[in-house]
Every structure is written in structure tokens, then in C-alpha cells.
Structure 1
Amino acid sequence: MKKFQTLLYYCYSAIAEAEQFAAQHLKFCKSLNLVGRIIVADEGLNGTISGTPEACKAYMDAIHADERFAKTEFKIDNVDELSFLKMHVRYKSEIVHSGLRDPRIINPEVKTGKHLEPTEFMVMKDRDDVVVLDVRSNYEHHLGRFKNAVTLDIENFRDFPSKINELAQYKDKKILTYCTGGIKCEKASALLLHEGFTDVYQLHGGIIKYGKEAGGKDFEGKCYVFDNRVAVDVNAVNPTVVSTCKHCGQTSPKMVNCANPECNEQFTLCEDCGWEMMGCCSNECIDHPRRRVYDGSGYYIKLSQEYVKVPRIGEPVE
């Protein structure tokens, strides 16, 4: 039996005085000896946390006891080690950055694509009248994606709105959106509906839930996750590796951050090139004076505050 659990969750639900809630929530999480990363915004919560099964249960019970978050669904992984080193809670303008902050246009509590359970998604995804759309960033879908999925050239989810015109050719199709845990699809599907797409769906619980409940069939490669694990296996039915090393082109499931902290690019790297390039994406980064020591993992601790207020637009930066 594994010693720890990692919880992935989100909930779109209005939080009054969200900045104050964030500070209080950090204290609560630390009282349970949890580690992880939680984003708090006026529109809700988005988190990945890790701790003992007892601590995780206490956290889930507390979240569900709050009527604002009673509908929250947790994806639970049993893990050998904690998936984070520290506990961070950040107050931001959105729980997933999209730039779509006008609730008259995008409000996941009011209107999103139709939710498909994993088994429903599995049945629909190969139909001729369906397009499966990955709404994640380049580094995520390069590591793993559904077979025959449409992917977008975006560095961050905030770039998604600018790609809507590229999807116009699919307006007569059923659009099945998916992402890691479901949070990005809430806004992506809502925007598609706003832009005139009429038959829009989303994979409920995302790739992670699909792996747990449908065996991950036809998800090629690994799923990128935002914690120390970096990548997790999803497909227990017909697994394969699709990501390729940035330097030599050899298939590799390993995702790293560039050892140059001023670059920090996320890319796929094979074992041999990892040591040869010292964990870097380029020769320029190898020569950088602040290059971090590569230990084979490609994961580096970020030095940051536990609770960070991100200024609102127009507010001075302290």
C-alpha cells in the first residue's frame, strides 16, 4: 500500500473576498501537513495537493462541507512519495488563465459544453461526425494526446481564444474537447459555444479520469501533470510513446525543464542527450552562468513565496 495520495481538483464557484480566503486556506492546508499548489480566484478553486490518506480525506471532507464547493470532484492517485515539496496558495484573477474574464461571455457556472463521462467519450471519439480537440499547450500534447486529436499551436491556454478561427472548418461537427482534469474545457467549450459552434462536448474529469475509468484506451504517450511527477501513465489498454527528444528525435517519454533557469523551457529529452546536453535545450543554455546542476530528473525547485498576491490590472506592483 502506498503511503501518500495526490489530489487533483477544481471548482468554479464564486468566492467572496477570495484574497482573504487564500491566506486562510494556506493556514488550513499547512495544519494538515499537506503540500501542493492551489490557485484561488473570485471564480473558484484549482488545486493539486499531496499528503497522507488521512490528511487528504480531512481536506476533501472540509471542501465538501463548504456549500460553495460541495460539487467538487477529486481525482485521487495513490503515490509512493509526496508530489510537492511545499504548500503554496496563490490568489489570481482566474483559476486557469484564459483572459476570458467577462462573465457575460464566459461563465462555466452557467453554460459549458455537454459533459461526457469517460465511457461515453470513448464510444463517441471515433465517429465520422466528431472532432476530438485538445485544448492544452504544446508541451502537454507533445508528450501525449488522443489518437487523431486536433492539437493547437499554443504556448499557454490564454492563446486558445486566438485560435478559434482555425477551428471554423469543424463547425458542422460534434466537438469533443479534453484537457488534463477538465478545468480548461469548461472555458474552452463555453467560448466555442459563444463563437457559434452548436454541438460542443467536454471530457468530464479530463484525461486523468479517462485513464482511471476507461483504461485510457487510445491515449497515446503520457499525460503531463503540474507536480513533481511531471508525467503519468494513462493508457493500460494500448499504450505507446509519441513524444520525441528535442535533440536527436528518438522517442522518449521524459519531459524536463531546461537547466538554464532564465530559459526553463519544457521539452522532451532522451536519457543520452540529457547527460550530453547537461539538461539543456541548447548550447547557449549549457554555457549560461546560472545553469543548474542536472541530476537526471530535469525537475528543479522553484524558490517562491508560499502565498502570493497577483496584482489586479491597474494596481501598482509592490
Structure 2
Amino acid sequence: MEKNYLILLYYCYAPIEDPEAFREEHHLYCLENELRGRIIVASEGLNGTVSGTREACEQYMKDVKSDPRFAHTDFKVEAHDRHAFAKLHVRVKPEIVHSGLGHLKPYEKTGTHLSPEEFKKLKDQQDVVVLDVRSNYEHNVGRFKNALTLNIENFRDFPDKVKELEQYKDKKVLTYCTGGIKCEKASAYLLEQGFKDVYQLHGGIIKYGIEAGGEDFEGKCYVFDNRLTVDVNSVNPTVISQCFVCGTKSDRMVNCANPVCNKHVAICEECGWELEGACSPECMAIPDKREYDGSGYYQKGMNGYNPAKGLKRRHDDITT
């Protein structure tokens, strides 16, 4: 199947003086170039994952990096056969990733960045601990071999878990996440809490898969688009997750069809069809559960969705 689309994952911590004005301009740019996805704008920077034609995405990367504030933005690029998103949302928020650590400025101080090859060479050394800073549903389906994981439902819970890491203060701590953004705040916070030797995998799991073959990453990587998970390891792949229903090995990530439950868990194909995408008979019995198509991903209804919604100037007023 020909892959004429790209999916871009990126972030950049850099001061934005007027986030609202920037959001307006950026939203319009994405509309005019038929880009879809989710982009967060904050006074501390940008965080986005978008899809579009190869030509539109390549121009987008060029234009973003032409702004001196975002010149060092590292784009993770994956080819795809279609749009990975149905909608476009460009929003202003207090932080580009919700952490409750808004006082930290990674562009001033954060953990030492490691390239995928540097991370690969360092991760198995005796005085090193590899720390996964992602949520449970993410590391349950895939993580680095021998990595330390934290029992957290959301990244904002990370600061409360740092006290459990006191025993590792004298070690080299290598943090990692999906694309690198959470590590910027996580490693900065570890430094603030007295950890001396803190590093982060630059570009995250996605870049490690692209540039280092994903060696020793076990399972799949959870992603925040309609693919749900992606393969990372082309060297020594394995499956580490189990079907939430029957316990057999499975790395098929599914969102429970019950929208109230909405658990993100691995469910094998057989159980998926048997329970119509639900994670339990109880969730299957819910009258308004979502229709299961075998993917485990449920696109929210368009509900009068207007891609120009939120613009202070109407798109058709600008283009006519």
C-alpha cells in the first residue's frame, strides 16, 4: 500500500509571548494546508501530533523550524497511507503536557539529552537505572527491557512518585517516554529533587525505533492516534502484554467499547469480537456502548465539527 501521508510527532519548549495570537495564526496555517491532529500552544512552547500529505508535512516542518524560537524542534516522522486524524484542534493550555510542574523551564535546565545510539550503549551499564515516565496503560503494552516503571494513571502523578526513587539518587537515571516531551519535565524535576546524574532519551521511543532499530524495547509503543500502538523493535521483538480478558499473550490495544469505562488495555482478537470491544461482560451489556469494528479505536462523532471553530476570523472570510 502506497504511503503518501506522514504523521509528525513533535514538541518544543520555547517561550511564546502571546499564545492566543500564535494559536490563531497556527490554526489558520493548518487549515490552509489541510493538516489534521492535535496541537497544544502554551507560554512554554508547542506540542503537536499531526498528519497530512507528504508535501504538506514537509512544508510544515520547514515553516515551523524557520521560526528562530522553534529552530531546534525535533520531528519524529512516520509514513502512513492516510490521515491519522479526522479533526484538527489547536488549543491554548497552561502547559504543553499536563504535569503540574509549570514552574520548570526545560529550555533553561533539564536532563542531558542522549541520542538513540548513546542511550543504547549506556542503558545496560551497572550504575544505570532506566526509568519509564509514562502511564500504566502505556508501559503495560511496551517498555524497555529491565526498565523501572511507576504506577501512575496520568503524568501529573509523576511528582508524587519521585519519593519512591530515592534509592537511585547515586545512579545514572535514564528517562524515556513516547516522543521525549514528558522526559523534559520529568528529568528537570528529578534534578530539582537532588538527583545528580539525569539523562533523557532524545526523541523518545519513536526516534529510538527509527534510528536504533528499537533493540530491547519489548512489546509495542502506545501512540495517541487511530493506530493505538506501533511496532518499534525490528531487532529482537517480543510480546509482553496479556489479554485483559483471557490472559493469553496479546499486544492488540483496545479502548473499552463502554465509553464510561474507556479502559486502554490489551485484548486478543477473539475476546475483542466475543465481547464486542468491551473489556468485560458488564461493559458489553451497556446499551450505549460504542460499535466495535475490530480496531478498538473509536472516532468521536463529528457533532457539527467545524475545523475553523475557535478562529476569531472566519476562514471563509479570509479566503474569499
Cα distance in 2 between the residues matched to 1:255 and 1:279: 11
> For 1:235-246, what aligned pairs fall within 5 Å after superposition?
235-246=233-244
Show CA shifts across 1:54-96 (max 9, x none): 1001111110111111111111111112111121112111110
Q: Which residue of 1 aligns with 2:92?
A: 91
Q: Deviations over 1:139-182 (max 9, x none)?
A: 10011000000000000000000000111111111000000110
Tell me if the contact between 1:215 and 1:235 (Cα under 8 Å) persists in the aligned partners: yes
Partner of 1:298: 296
**Structure 1 Cα separation of the partners of residues 227 and 290 of structure 2:** 19
Counterpart for residue 277 of structure 1:
275
1:191 paired with 2:189, answer: yes
Shift of 1:278: 1.2
Q: What per-residue deviation string (whole Å, max 9, x for no partner) do you get for residues 234-277 of structure 1?
A: 10100001111111111111111111112211111100110111
Counterparts in 2 of 1:191-210, with a 5 A limit?
191-210=189-208
Task: Give the aligned partner of residue 8 of structure 1.
Answer: 9
Deviation at 1:284, TM superposition (A): 2.3
Q: How does 1:299-318 map to 2 (within 5 A)?
A: 299-303=297-301
Equivalent residue number for residue 108 of structure 2: 110
Determine the structure 2 residue equivalent to 1:125.
123
Q: Which residue matches 2:262?
A: 264
CA offsets per residue over residues 20-76 of structure 1, 9 Å max, x none? 322321111010011111111111110111111110011111101111111111111
For residue 83 of structure 2, give the secondary structure of its aligned residue in structure 1. coil
Stretch deviating more after TM superposition (186-195 or 278-287): 278-287
Sequence identity percentage: 64
Asked if the contact 1:34/1:55 (under 8 Å) is kept, the reply is yes
Tell me which of 285, 288, 307 is aligned to 1:287: 285
For structure 1, which runs of at least 5 residues remain unmatched after alignment?
310-318
Report what 1:219 is aligned to: 217
Structure 1 stretch 74-83 or stretch 299-308: which is displaced more?
Answer: 299-308
Q: Which of 137, 149, 155 in structure 2 is aligned with 1:151?
A: 149
Work out the CA distance in 1 between the residues paired with 2:217 and 2:121: 14
Partner of 1:313: none
Number of residue pairs matched? 306
Deviation sequence 1:289-314 (CA, Å, 0-9, x none):
211111111111124765679xxxxx
Deviation readout 1:106-126 (Å, 9 max, x if unpaired):
110110011111111101101
The equivalent residue for 2:46 is 45
What do you get for the CA RMSD once the two structures are aligned? 1.4
Range moving further from structure 2, 298-307 or 19-28: 298-307
Q: Secondary structure at the match of 1:73?
A: coil
Q: Counterparts of 2:211 and 2:267 in 1: how far apart (Å)?
A: 30
Q: Structure 1, residues 164-223: CA drift from partner, whole Å, max 9, x if none?
A: 011111111100000011000000000000001000000011001111111110000011
* Counterpart pick for 2:228 among 210, 227, 230: 230
Q: Paired residue for 2:61?
A: 60
Displacement of 1:98 after TM fit?
A: 0.2
What TM-score, normalized to structure 1? 0.93
Q: Which SS does the other structure have where 1:249 is aligned?
A: coil
The 2-side partners of 1:269 and 1:239 are apart by 19
Q: Does structure 2 conserve the Cα–Cα contact (< 8 Å) formed by 1:91 and 1:308?
A: no
Cα contact 1:135–1:151 (8 A) shared by 2:
yes
Instruction: Name the SS of the counterpart of 2:184 in structure 1.
Output: helix
Partner of 1:36: 37
Q: In 1, distance between residues paired with 2:25 and 2:275?
A: 43
Contact 1:223 1:233 in 2 (8 A): yes
- 1:280 to partner: Cα distance: 0.9
Distance in 1 between the 2:169 and 2:270 partners? 45
Quote the Cα distance in structure 1 between the aligned partners of 2:143 and 2:190: 20
